[in-house]
Amino acid sequence: MFERFFSKRSISFQNLFESGDALALGNLSGTHVNQQTVFQVNAVYSAVSLISNTVSTLPVDVFVRRDGARFPFRPKPEWVERPDMDIPRQAFYSQLITSLLLDGNAFVRVFANRQGRVVNLMVLNPTQVEVSRAATGRLVFTVEGEERPLTHEEVIFIPDVMRPGKLRGENRVKALQENFGLALALESFASTFFGQGTNMNGVIEVGSDLTAEQAQQLSESFSAAHQGWRRGHKTGVLTGGASFKSTQMEPDKSQAIEARRFAVEDIARAFNIPPHMLGIPGTMTYSSVEANGLQFIQHTLRPILEKIEGALSPLMARTPGGENAFIKFNIDGLARADLQTRMQSYSTALQAGFLTINDVRRREDLRPVEDEGADTVRVPLANVAINESHVVAESQKVSMAAQLVANGYRPDEVLGALGLPEIGHTGLPSVQLQAAENVTEAIAEEESD
């Protein structure tokens, strides 16, 4: 039964929308924009591939919370590491992210066995899915090729940006068709500009009238010798009093270069990507690389990751013992700072007592130290093991008691105020004022009495 469904799967994100949404959208720039043509814009392709490749290659794990602490959930369900059994995990998430970024909606078909456990997941083509509400108010999904409408238990629905009262997320290509259309028009303009020649595009003036045949022959021969960027710098020769006048505008004068830059910046804003990640010159400095990386994680990746985690985590309830388990992407590798900064933060964590030596080594992918002290939390008093911290505390209390007694406070009340036990005293002056053997004899006499 599953083979019949699996044969109708999506492909890679480049042709994810090939079978649907063939109607292109017209715009003021005179271009036609849809999910296929928008990939002809280099910046759009780069933005989508950047986000999808980054998310799809992140490690994914399952955790469960017990008494407020997070523990790994084991054994991990197979579908977490291989959501779609017939394609790599990276390809599955790449399809999902591409659908979410362009169509504004992602639909995942859930296949389960007779016990209700998840056995396979498949990203659906969003243009082949219709969303409606049943009489109970729950969403129902009509998928092309399915014999009946599917319920929320059979389809995972992940919208991007939703307007109030709508059942689908906002299609980014439709909503920003003017921005994408302008970028597509500028791509076409640049291709045409350089394809037809950069220096010899103009008109030929002659001093006498030419027949139509002569004019055509002159134009064709001149174009054959100079048209195209490969011939654009050849020397032109005209006879018979003819002269050439260029009618082409230089790229800098036509502001084509600047317009293309603004178009790429628009696309960067559309996908919430720092401009330097799309190769816009002059938008990055060495002092802002780390800050831009954190901005990319916080404002671009984090919302997408949380939407996916929130949508897939309920599937863990179908696994025995996984009622409180959840899916989590690991972004520690993306947020790692440079070596010096990491070492400084680790040193602070060790001295503050919230990381152990083996905790630090695990974060750096190093083998743990086979020593009990490497798994012991240290306290910031004197960087000692936490089970020996009472020694330092007692020492400080004794020092405070000595100062208080030396200043004339009653010893018994000092001990009670500091929580120290009562200790017998010989009654003799301090050893600093007499020989130590006198104190020892006095103690011996007291014990004999």
pLDDT score recorded for residue 360: 87
259 and 404 inside one domain: no
φ, ψ for residue 446 (rounded to 5)?
Answer: -65, -40
314 and 417 inside one domain: no
What Rg value do the Cα atoms of the chain yield, rounded? 37
Residue 265, in any domain of the structure: yes
pLDDT score recorded for residue 26: 58
183 and 328 inside one domain: yes
Q: What is the DSSP letter of 150?
A: B
Distance CA 407, CA 422 (A): 19
Pairing of strands 69-72, 60-66: antiparallel
pLDDT score recorded for residue 5: 45
Pairing of strands 202-205, 243-246: antiparallel
Residue 346, in any domain of the structure: no
**How many distinct structural domains can be found in the chain?**
2
37 and 132 inside one domain: yes
120 and 40 inside one domain: yes
Distance CA 324, CA 314 (A): 9
pLDDT score recorded for residue 206: 72
Which tokens in the block code for residue 213? 């045949």
Domain boundary residue among 276, 307, 336? 336
Which tokens in the block code for residue 117? 């456990």
Distance CA 117, CA 449 (A): 82
Tell how far CA 123 is from the center of its chain: 20
pLDDT per residue as tens digits for the range 189-202:
666 665 554 444 66
Query: In b/e form, how buried is each residue of 199-212, taking b as 16+ CB within 10 angstroms?
Result: ebbeeeeeeeeeee
pLDDT score recorded for residue 129: 96
pLDDT score recorded for residue 13: 43
pLDDT per residue as tens digits for the range 237-268:
666 667 766 656 555 545 566 777 788 888 88
pLDDT score recorded for residue 397: 81
Residue 246, in any domain of the structure: no
Provide the domain limits for residue 6.
Answer: 1-194+252-336
Residue 374, in any domain of the structure: no
pLDDT score recorded for residue 156: 97
318 and 405 inside one domain: no
Residue 348, in any domain of the structure: no
What tens-digit pLDDT sequence spans the chain (449 residues)?
444 444 444 444 444 454 444 445 556 666 778 888 888 888 899 999 999 999 999 999 999 988 877 889 999 999 999 999 999 999 999 999 999 999 999 999 999 999 999 999 999 999 999 999 999 899 999 999 999 999 999 999 999 999 999 999 999 988 888 888 877 777 776 666 655 544 446 666 776 777 778 778 777 777 776 666 566 566 666 666 677 666 565 555 455 667 777 888 888 889 999 888 887 776 666 556 667 778 888 889 999 999 999 999 999 999 999 989 999 998 877 766 667 778 888 888 888 878 888 888 887 768 888 888 888 887 665 556 666 666 667 777 888 888 887 787 877 888 888 888 877 766 656 655 555 566 566 666 666 66
- Residue in the structure block whose two tokens are 């939390």: 377
Cis-peptide into 75, omega within 30 deg: yes
Q: DSSP for 422-435, please give it.
A: P-----SPPTTTS-
Domain boundary residue among 315, 336, 357? 336
Q: DSSP for 356-403, please give it.
A: -HHHHHHHTT-PPPSSGGGGSPEETTTTEEGGGHHHHHHHHHHHHHHH
Q: Is the dihedral of CA 132, 134, 140, 146 positive or negative?
A: negative
Q: pTM to 2 decimals?
A: 0.66
Residue 367, in any domain of the structure: no
pLDDT per residue as tens digits for the range 356-394:
888 888 877 688 888 888 888 876 655 566 666 666 677
pLDDT score recorded for residue 7: 45
Q: What is the DSSP letter of 209?
A: -
